[in-house]
Amino acid sequence: MNDVVVPETQTLRLVKENGDMILEDDVVSLDLLMAEAQEGLNMGKRQDQRFFIINFAKVLSETFKKEVSPSMAYLLSQKIDSVGQLLKKSIETLRSSSSTTEAPSET
């Protein structure tokens, strides 16, 4: 049997200074929304980076039915990137530990 081991889901929240929550979702879903906002853009170009932030704010606002400013979208994108990197490392660690503990299959 082949088990798929996954790390614990990371949830991110975007909260205003007054404590009002704007959105809450898992990092993978938010990363997919971020990819949607990047579609068709060349992130190596400074102008496209600006368009991305505006697009991401719009996608988040439409998805969560709350007003998300470009500044909020930028801060969230930075957090998604950092948590995403930690998640990737965790997955790599799980893969390497499971591959070293698996017994060879008999055929």
Closest CA to 67 of 59, 79, 76: 59
Cβ-defined contacts of 19-22 (< 8 Å, 24+): 22/64, 22/66, 22/67, 22/68, 22/72
Q: What is the pLDDT along the chain (107 residues), one digit of tens a residue?
A: 566 655 567 889 999 999 999 999 998 899 999 999 999 999 899 999 999 999 999 999 999 999 999 999 999 999 998 887 877 777 777 777 766 555 555 54
